[in-house]
Amino acid sequence: MARPLTRQALAGPRDVALDALARVDQGAWANLVVPRLLAASGLAAGDRAAVTDLVYGSLRMRGALDHALRPLSRQPLERLEPAVLRGLRLGAYELLFAGTAPHAALNEVVGAVRRGGTQGQGGYVNAVLRQLSRRPPRWPDPKDDPLGWATTRGSHPAWMVEQAIERLGAEEALDLVEADNLRPQVTLRVTPGRRTRDELLVELESVGVAARPSPLSPDCVVLEHGEPGALAAVAEGRAVVQDAASALVAPALGVEPGELVLDLGAGPGGKAGHLAALGARVLAVELHPARARMVRDLAARLRLEQRLWTVTGDGTRPPLAGGRFDAALVDAPCSNLGSLRRRPEARWRHGPEELERLAALQGALLDAAVAAVRPGGHVLYSVCTWTQAETDGVVDDALRRHPELEPAPLTGLPGPLGTTAATGPAPPRDRHQFWPHRDGSDGIFLARLRKIH
């Protein structure tokens, strides 16, 4: 197990970055652990930004880093001490992708490894990184070997690339790979009834935060820089941090004010809070107590406690009577392939063998939602991925299992998504897949169903 560093022992950004990477190796998510470590670090704003880049960059480009390091290490990378491998990856990221001067990268990373481990660990890291600084890797040609490029320089597991090529073709699959490796922009969604988008832009400008309207969601703005958690608009509930495609999920359900909505698997609560802010009465079911608390905390911050209630329980067997709800949202657990910009470690945590299990869970949640909704009510299925098994496959299977269901048009999608250049307005669609490389957003899949009887 990695040795956590105390605040007193943290000497700089690399120390904090290595601590964060150790915690991610032990199962934490970077988007949760990095803010906590930064809050306790005492680092200046520039150093805090450096930590974020070092952690996310090392995780995002791990496949490329390992490809570069493997021929230079005397031992297989898999047999190295975890602290050594983390130091090598961090230093390789600085040398290959961060633009750090070689002498600075070597000195700072090796020093941090020694402070967190032993002299011997630092020596090995120093020896390998010095070789890398003199012998940068050669990458496959993306035109001649798209799979080879995507799994090395593109830093994606082979199974993900193969599935992307199957769905998109080789050329567009590489566009997706490149989009996954971009640093994500921070998007804020206004809280309906508390702020309009224009009002939020004015508020942000008044405190010196540069922002622009999102081209995808009419309720979102994109920050040019800054830490969203430090903004009064976020702390006081006038806005929430939410990807622009995710901000279209709640409107796509098409509920009216006062209608009763069931949200299965609601944590951390962004979509449940959005539904409640749009006027629905929302019962949020969340299996994990810590995530259920996050939903309650969000309801309090948004001042929606009278319209958003939380129950801790299994969404596949919700503790409530069936047929009572006007609508249901199934924002299901998934492989997270649509959010690799924000959760880069997800690409290394999931394998193709999981898809069958995930699809079974997603189907069970859909079954529970169908049972909960009254005749004439709607169910919205949402996942942040693009695999066929978890998107169209789950919906098609649900339609086969439930003759009482029929596809229903999605609501609330912005105009450009409902038009085509050749024919003008397109017919209403009951499903839509967002793509990072096409939409500049997370890869959200949406499907809307109506319960006929």
Residue 425: other Cβ atoms inside 10 A: 9
β-pairing, 419-420 vs 405-407, is unpaired
Task: Flag whether pLDDT at 4 surpasses 80.
Answer: no
Residues annotated as catalytic are: 384
Distance separating alpha carbons of residues 147 and 159, to the nearest angstrom = 10
pLDDT at 321: 78
Q: Count CA atoms closer than 13 A to 4's CA, side-chain side.
A: 9
pLDDT value of residue 422: 46
221 has a pLDDT exceeding 80? yes
| Per-residue pLDDT tens over the stretch 278-309 | 999 999 999 999 999 999 999 999 999 999 99
% of the chain exceeding 70 in pLDDT = 95
- SS3 assignment, position 68: helix
Under DSSP, the state recorded for 352 is T
Q: Which amino acid is located at 70 in the chain?
A: R
Query: What are the tokens at 381?
Result: 């299925």
Mean pLDDT of 114-131: 90
Most confident stretch, 95-104, 255-264, 312-321: 255-264
Residue 167 has pLDDT above 90, yes or no: yes
* SS3 labels along 167-229: HHCHHHHHHHHHHHCCCCCCEEEECCCCCCHHHHHHHHHHCCCCEEECCCCCCEEEECCCCHH
Q: How confident is the model at residue 425 (pLDDT cuts 50, 70, 90)?
A: low
Report, as an integer, the average pLDDT of 354-376: 97
pLDDT of residue 8: 42
Q: What is the DSSP letter of 13?
A: H
Token pair listed for 404: 């009482």
**pLDDT for the residue numbered 424:** 53
Neighbour-count burial for 68-78, b at 16+ CB within 10 Å, e otherwise:
bbeebbeeeee
Mean pLDDT of 247-259: 96
pTM comes to: 0.91
d(CA 404, CA 412): 24
Determine the Cα angle at 58 with ends 54 and 59, to 5°: 120
Judge whether 381 and 430 are in contact, CB under 8 Å: no
Write down the pLDDT at residue 7: 44
Question: Mean of the pLDDT values across residues 9-24?
Answer: 88
| Distance of alpha carbon 123 from alpha carbon 245, whole angstroms | 46
| Torsion 359-365-368-370 (CA) sign | negative
Residues in a beta bridge with 383:
445
Give the orientation angle of helix 102-116 with respect to helix 82-93, to 10 degrees.
160
- 28 or 420: whose pLDDT is higher? 28
> How many other C-beta atoms can be found within 10 angstroms of the C-beta atom of residue 190?
26
Across residues 71-77, what is the average pLDDT?
Answer: 95
Beta pairing class for 220-223 and 187-190: antiparallel
419 DSSP assignment: E
Instruction: Give the pLDDT of residue 420.
Output: 41
pLDDT digits (tens, 9 = 90+) for 324-362: 999 999 999 999 999 999 999 999 999 999 999 999 999
Burial label, 392 (beta-carbon count in 10 A; 0-12, 13-18, 19+): middle
The predicted pLDDT at position 423 comes to: 47
Lowest model confidence (mean pLDDT) among 112-116, 144-148, 149-153, 392-396:
112-116
Residue 131 pLDDT: 95
d(CA 89, CA 57): 10
How far, in Å, CA of 363 to CA of 389, rounded? Answer: 11
Is residue 450 predicted with pLDDT exceeding 90? yes
Q: How confident is the model at residue 417 (pLDDT cuts 50, 70, 90)?
A: low
Please tell me the distance from the alpha carbon of residue 387 to that of residue 181, in angstroms, as a whole number.
18
Q: Which two tokens stand for residue 347?
A: 């690409």
Q: For residue 119, what pLDDT is reported?
A: 79
Question: Is the Cβ–Cβ distance between 316 and 361 less than 8 Å?
Answer: yes
Alpha carbon separation from 332 to 76, 200, 342, 427 (Å, rounded): 38, 30, 18, 27
Does the pLDDT of residue 421 top 60, yes or no? no
Contacts of 342 (CB under 8 A, 6+ apart): 31, 184, 243, 442
Distance CA 387, CA 334 (A): 10
What is the average per-residue pLDDT within 408-417?
82
For the chain, the 3-state helix, strand and coil shares in percent, each to the nearest 5, are 50, 15, 35
Instruction: Give pLDDT, residue 45.
Output: 87
Both tokens of residue 265?
């698997």
Residue 404: is its pLDDT beyond 90?
Answer: yes
Asked if residues 436 and 442 have their Cβ atoms less than 8 Å apart, the reply is yes
> What is residue 416's predicted lDDT score, i.e. its pLDDT?
58
